[in-house]
A = this chain, B = another copy of it.
Amino acid sequence: MRIVEEAAAAAAEQVVTPWEVSAPEGGIDYDKLVDRFGCQRLDAALVDRISRVTLRPPHRFLRRGIFFAHRDLNKILDIYEAGEKFYLYTGRGPSSEALHLGHLIPFMFTKYLQDAFKVPLIIQLTDDEKFLWKNLSIPECKRLARENAKDIIACGFDIERTFIFSDFSYIGGPFYENMLEVSNRVTFNNLKGNFGLSPEDHIGKISFPPVQAVPSFTSSFPHLFPGKDQLSCLIPCAIDQDPYFRMTRDVAPKIGFQKPSLIESRFFLALQGEGTKMSASDPNSAIYVTDSCKQIKAKVDKYAFSGGQDSIELHRELGANIDVDVPIKYLNFFLEDDDELEHIKKIHFPCWKLKQIMHYETLSYPL
């Protein structure tokens, strides 16, 4: 999952599939996406409810509309309020040596959810998917999964409540049985449009979607959830993963399982700005968790799309155009303090602040 293709920024239509995110100038139209996918908007009332239920202030990703859409999130909150259990499921397609900042978003948010709800967490590393989509060998995909697992572990999940697995090492048994239960209810024609597949695609790609579907069902993990086939699942992910879980929710009742609930984020911008998301396959578009402070500074200086004005004088007078300024957008993701964020927007030098927090933060990773 979470694969990113080079964006066709000048495309006339926005394209969002699990393997391609591209938008015409002006960036992704998230409203359009919510309507097309048929998910719900995560409004202020629901953010308030999360806060009330968890007895803690809402995460900045909720305050700032970074997680902005959902499916049946209310059901999960009902379950939690009734004192019942649920679990979290998220994942990563290991296509790069190290995670970049965009990859951290779902994991940072998942950590907050795990802390707030005290629930089990399943993390799937889809090394098989990367083999099917990227020009990498199986041993290389397995190695990247292992490397990425280290970055994910560093986010600080509850080690008593977290299960991380790679598909190549875990698929088989009840997990494989559930894969076929799903495969049996999805035709190639059902998949085609939502996943952007064609009859010229190899059958590995056509077979893959059930692999990402079945961690939504506890019976895929009998050793973790013995006798609990009906535990509800909440999936934090970027909205490009919605096609997988639309399919999963469609199939779930047909095979006697609960539909998973979703909480979905916007994309993390490439350094180059609107119209795509940060891509692991383009090192100049991404800041990696392994980049040194010096490298981060150089990348921000050289590549970060700036909303700055043409001269210092003009900039002092008008301020940066914060609608397109990449540093301010990154601060929106990473700077916890709302007042400080507003202040930085006003003092007009978000780029400098970004470099400063990146400097401290990479020293004390996780962010």
What is A's interface to B at a CB cutoff of 8 Å? 128, 131-132, 138, 168-173, 176-177, 180-181, 183-189, 191-192, 199-204, 206-207, 209-210
Contact = CB atoms under 8 A, between A and B. Distances in A.
A41 B210 CA distance: 41
Contacts of A188: 188, 199-203, 206
B132 A181 contact: no
B172 A171 contact: yes
B203 A187 contact: yes
Contacts of A171: 171-172, 176
Given A132-B184, A138-B177, A203 B199 contact: no
Contacts of A138: 177, 180-181
Count of identical protomers in the assembly: 2
A199 B203 CA distance: 12
Given A168-B177, A172-B176, A207-B207, 18 more contacts: A132-B184, A138-B177, A138-B181, A169-B173, A170-B172, A180-B204, A184-B202, A186-B202, A186-B203, A187-B199, A188-B188, A188-B203, A188-B206, A203-B206, A203-B207, A203-B209, A203-B210, A206-B207
B177 A203 contact: no
A113 B352 CA distance: 77
A363 to B, nearest CB: 39
A152 to B, nearest CB: 22
Given A187-B203, A200-B188, A180 B210 contact: no
Contact of A172 (B172, B180, B200, B202): B172
A172 B209 CA distance: 17
A12 to B, nearest CB: 27
A247 to B, nearest CB: 10
Please provide the 9 A-B residue pairs with the shortest distance between their CB atoms, ordered closest to farther. Answer: A172-B172, A183-B204, A207-B207, A188-B199, A189-B199, A184-B204, A183-B203, A138-B177, A187-B202
B206 A200 contact: no
A157 B188 CA distance: 41
A210 B206 CA distance: 13
A347 to B, nearest CB: 53
B203 A191 contact: yes
Contacts of A209: 203
A150 to B, nearest CB: 22
Contact of A187 (B185, B186, B200): B200
A173 B204 CA distance: 16
Contacts of A131: 180, 184
A181 B131 CA distance: 9
A36 to B, nearest CB: 22
Contacts of A177: 138, 168
A188 B184 CA distance: 17
A183 to B, nearest CB: 3
A203 B183 CA distance: 5
A132 B168 contact: no
A183 B204 CA distance: 5
